[in-house]
């Protein structure tokens, strides 16, 4: 039981961090960024290269990953999103193409085989009979710090409030002297930064391989559909629902409780949750009514 | 209106496709090229299926393999596990794909635009998970099924079968596009509210487009299984597969019939000819790069570029 709660909390923190950058773009620009998973991949591989191949300190590796991710996001905004402005379908499809191109580039540079990232912090922490690797604990704590920082940025700073304004009504924001173009650029940059950081932790949780961008994309998709758009706390809550479900469903406890072996149903439940929410409440649990 | 020159063009098209194997052989090409063209023909079928739903109505499906997969798995299970003859299992597979997909899509039709794209992506992932979990004794689990009865032997026969399937699908979709129904579907892509304001029911129209798209995808998937003799979840429910289908449809020209076919053959042949220089997954870098640049230059595809070159001033032509 304790084990489930602890593991659930840790996994959910990671999921919240992964989904946040994706939700941010979807809320502000109303655009699906299918290349979002590629940020995570770029972040993970940058970290791998800087800190494991070059042997730089871990912190420098993390920061470099974030910066590269941010640059990637900004370049994508200038290269694709601004050029195709207004044509959402075209943006979505070109981000899908970009994701596959990024995957091919990663194969070209780092090869096809999967790489194991050394833990960011080695060691194991024993708590209440459950053992937790310090690595995933760091990931969860870092997620929380980053999420709180993001929340403070969005609600307390002028730029953050301007971003919220653009998310609610781009025309109204423009009339009030906010430059939507600049806000979009900021959001795409932040999203790239967050995605790359999440990628470092996600990669240390699983593995580095060229197809690793799909799973985080699916997680982000699930969080956005279930949570709806426009709320950081909504994203956080839904990330916890999904994180706990994914820990709970394959566990022994669940199997004992309902008498069926559910160990292989981990991914299925998340997808069923999506369909259920769509049928009952298409705009998501916390979304603004607009779709 | 269907005019005589349309019929003539279709006949010429079929004749060219039919004449290809002997001509290629006479020109000294290897059998491997025919295998490439077969794969191109199936991608063309899937691209047309995708385009009938997404290219026309603007509802982008990022999970098209989930439709293909229903058809592929149904016929694979029926013929491999239950010894149902292929002549029965393929029609059943198509029917199952249509019914199953409508069952799935009803919740998805409640949402519009980007949300629809998200949901289809989630469906593909769900199918990927389900095929491995639910009754692995039937689906073969992660490894899939191999040793399924094949319809044809040899590249030439496989080519003719693939071409006939592609040709029939193209002809049916082309005819549908020229009816009032096709016009209404294109109108949804332009302005759904206006369609609903004209007294048409967009939900019914979308459901119809989806059913047709599913039938074509299921048909293509079923024939593909009986050509390859195997089916596996990872190769099928793969986002790279989605990418190939969508790029084929878009590069050729969305909203047309010739476009997706041309795009499929263009890209598959391109991919094949890159092989000597770039073995392995690196080809996707060039392939994706070309696709991205072409798409950024002209989102309507090669079809529009050619049309533009042929008639530099298209104003008043439509």
Whether the pLDDT of residue B316 is over 70: the answer is: no
Contacts of A88 in chain B (CB under 8 A): 113-114
Q: Residue B16 is inside which H or E element, if any? A: helix B4-26
pLDDT value of position B317: 39
Tens digits of residue pLDDT in A190-220: 889 988 988 888 887 777 887 788 888 888 8
Which two tokens mark B177? 């596009």
Residue of B nearest to A278 (CA): B107
Which two tokens mark B253? 């020209």
**Among B39, B268, B64, which Cα is nearest to A93's?**
B64
Q: What pTM did the predictor assign?
A: 0.83
ipTM exceeding 0.90, yes/no:
no
CA distance A202 to A17: 10
Q: What is the mean pLDDT of chain B?
A: 79
CA distance B226 to B94: 14
pLDDT value of position A290: 45
Tens digits of residue pLDDT in B170-189: 888 888 888 887 788 778 77
Question: Which residues are CB-contacts of B272 (< 8 A; sequence separation ≥ 6)?
Answer: B33, B36
Distance from CA of B122 to the nearest CA of A (A): 6
Q: Do A89 and B58 touch (CB under 8 A)?
A: yes
The answer, for A71 touching chain B at a CB cutoff of 8 Å, is no
Tens digits of residue pLDDT in B135-161: 777 777 777 777 777 777 777 788 888
**Among B232, B68, B130, B144, which Cα is nearest to A270's?**
B130
pLDDT value of position A60: 83
Top residue of A75, A100, A225 to mutate, by most chain B CBs within 10 Å, is A100
Q: List, as ranges, residues 200-259 from A with C-beta within 8 Å of B.
A: 210, 214, 217-218, 221-222, 224-225
Distance from CA of A25 to the nearest CA of B (A): 12
CA distance B221 to B45: 9
Tens digits of residue pLDDT in A140-181: 888 888 888 888 888 888 888 888 888 777 788 888 888 888
Top residue of B125, B128, B193, B296 to mutate, by most chain A CBs within 10 Å, is B125
The answer, for A278 touching chain B at a CB cutoff of 8 Å, is yes
For the four alpha carbons of B110, B116, B119 and B124, in that order, the dihedral sign comes to: positive
Question: Which residues are CB-contacts of A175 (< 8 A; sequence separation ≥ 6)?
Answer: none
Q: At what angle do helices A214-227 and A2-29 cross, to 10 degrees?
A: 80
CA distance B33 to A258: 55
Q: Going by DSSP bridges, is the β-strand pair B230-231/B145-146 parallel, antiparallel, or unpaired? A: antiparallel
Phi, psi dihedrals of residue A118, rounded to the nearest 5°: -65, 145
CA distance A14 to A19: 9
Contacts of B189 in chain A (CB under 8 A): none
Which two tokens mark A273? 């949750």
Residue of B nearest to A105 (CA): B285
Q: Do B295 and A90 touch (CB under 8 A)?
A: yes
Q: How many CB pairs under 8 A join A and B?
A: 122
Return the residue matching tokens 């919740």: B107
Is B114:A88 a contact under the CB 8 Å cutoff? yes
CA distance A183 to B167: 49
Whether the pLDDT of residue B254 is over 50: the answer is: yes
Q: Do A93 and B246 touch (CB under 8 A)?
A: yes
Residue of B nearest to A94 (CA): B292
Contacts of A275 in chain B (CB under 8 A): 107, 122, 126
Contacts of B58 in chain A (CB under 8 A): 89
Phi, psi dihedrals of residue B109, rounded to the nearest 5°: -75, -10
Burial class (CB in 10 A: 0-12, 13-18, 19+), A278: buried
Whether the pLDDT of residue B243 is over 50: the answer is: yes
Q: Do A107 and B107 touch (CB under 8 A)?
A: no
**Among A275, A246, A192, A243, which Cα is nearest to B63's?**
A275
Q: Do A271 and B299 touch (CB under 8 A)?
A: no
**What average pLDDT does range A30-37 have in this prediction?**
82
CA distance B37 to B43: 10
CA distance B17 to B252: 18
Euclidean distance between the first and final Cα of chain B, in Å?
15
Go through chain B and tell me how many residues it has.
318
Contacts of A242 in chain B (CB under 8 A): none
DSSP-derived 3-state class of residue B193: helix
Contacts of B247 in chain A (CB under 8 A): 97
Question: Which residues are CB-contacts of A284 (< 8 A; sequence separation ≥ 6)?
Answer: A224, A225, A226, A227, A228, A229, A234, A277
Contacts of A291 in chain B (CB under 8 A): 111-113, 115
Would you give the DSSP letter of residue A78?
A: I
Q: Do B296 and A94 touch (CB under 8 A)?
A: yes
Rounded to 5°, the CA angle A72-B65-B80 comes to 145
Q: Do B284 and A100 touch (CB under 8 A)?
A: yes
Contacts of A110 in chain B (CB under 8 A): none
Question: Which residues are CB-contacts of B289 (< 8 A; sequence separation ≥ 6)?
Answer: A101
Contacts of B297 in chain A (CB under 8 A): none
Tens digits of residue pLDDT in B9-41: 888 888 887 777 777 777 777 767 778 888 888
Which two tokens mark B95? 């029917």
């Amino acid at each position: 039981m304790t084990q489930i709660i602890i593991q659930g909390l840790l996994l959910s923190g990671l999921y919240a961090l992964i989904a946040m950058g994706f939700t941010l773009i979807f809320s502000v620009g109303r655009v699906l960024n299918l290349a979002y998973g590629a940020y995570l991949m770029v972040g993970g591989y940058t970290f791998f290269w800087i800190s494991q191949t070059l042997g730089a300190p871990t912190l420098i590796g993390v920061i470099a990953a974030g910066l590269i991710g941010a640059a990637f996001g900004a370049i994508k905004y200038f290269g694709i999103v601004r050029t195709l402005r207004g044509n959402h379908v075209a943006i979505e499809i070109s981000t899908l193409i970009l994701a596959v191109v990024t995957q091919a580039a990663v194969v070209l540079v780092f090869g096809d085989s999967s790489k194991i990232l050394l833990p960011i912090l080695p060691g194991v922490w024993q708590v209440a009979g459950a053992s937790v690797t310090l690595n995933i604990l760091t990931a969860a704590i870092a997620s929380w710090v980053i999420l709180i920082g993001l929340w403070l940025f969005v609600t307390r700073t002028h730029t953050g409030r301007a971003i919220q304004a653009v998310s609610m009504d781009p025309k109204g924001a423009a009339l009030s002297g906010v430059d939507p173009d600049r806000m979009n650029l900021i959001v795409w940059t932040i999203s790239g930064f967050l995605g790359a950081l999440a990628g470092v932790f996600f990669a240390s949780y699983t593995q580095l391989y060229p197809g690793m961008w799909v799973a985080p994309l699916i997680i982000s998709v699930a969080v956005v559909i279930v949570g709806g758009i426009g709320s950081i706390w909504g994203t956080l809550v839904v990330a916890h629902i999904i994180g706990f479900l994914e820990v709970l469903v394959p566990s022994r406890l669940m199997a004992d409780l309902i008498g069926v072996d559910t160990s292989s149903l981990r991914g299925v439940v998340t997808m069923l949750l999506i369909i259920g929410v769509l049928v009952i409440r298409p705009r998501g649990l916390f979304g603004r009514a607009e779709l | 209106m269907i005019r005589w020159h349309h019929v003539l063009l279709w006949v010429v098209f079929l004749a060219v496709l039919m004449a290809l194997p002997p001509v290629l052989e006479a020109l000294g090409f290897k059998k491997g090229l025919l295998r490439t063209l077969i794969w191109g023909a199936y991608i063309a079928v899937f691209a047309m299926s995708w385009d009938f739903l997404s290219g026309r109505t603007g509802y982008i499906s990022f999970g098209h393999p989930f439709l293909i997969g229903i058809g592929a798995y149904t016929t694979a299970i029926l013929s491999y596990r239950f010894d149902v003859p292929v002549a029965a299992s393929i029609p059943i597979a198509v029917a199952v794909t249509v019914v199953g997909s409508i069952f799935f899509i009803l919740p998805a039709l409640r949402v519009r635009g980007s949300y629809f794209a998200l949901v289809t992506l989630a469906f593909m992932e769900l199918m990927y998970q389900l095929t491995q979990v639910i009754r692995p004794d039937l689906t073969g689990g992660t490894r899939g099924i191999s040793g399924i009865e094949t319809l044809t032997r040899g590249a030439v026969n496989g080519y003719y079968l693939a071409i006939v399937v592609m040709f029939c699908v193209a002809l049916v979709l082309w005819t549908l596009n020229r009816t009032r129904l096709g016009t209404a579907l294109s109108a949804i892509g332009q302005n759904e509210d206006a369609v609903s304001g004209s007294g048409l029911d967009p939900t019914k129209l979308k459901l119809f487009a989806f059913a047709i798209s599913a039938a074509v995808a299921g048909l293509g998937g079923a024939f593909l299984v009986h050509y390859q003799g195997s089916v596996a979840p990872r190769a099928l429910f793969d986002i790279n597969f989605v990418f190939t289908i969508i790029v084929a449809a878009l590069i050729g020209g969305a909203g047309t019939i010739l476009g997706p076919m041309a795009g499929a053959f263009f890209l598959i042949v391109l991919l094949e000819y890159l092989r000597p220089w770039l073995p392995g997954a690196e080809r996707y870098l060039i392939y994706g790069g070309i696709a991205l640049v072409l798409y950024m230059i002209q989102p309507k595809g090669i079809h529009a570029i050619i049309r533009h070159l042929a008639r530099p001033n298209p104003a008043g032509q439509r």
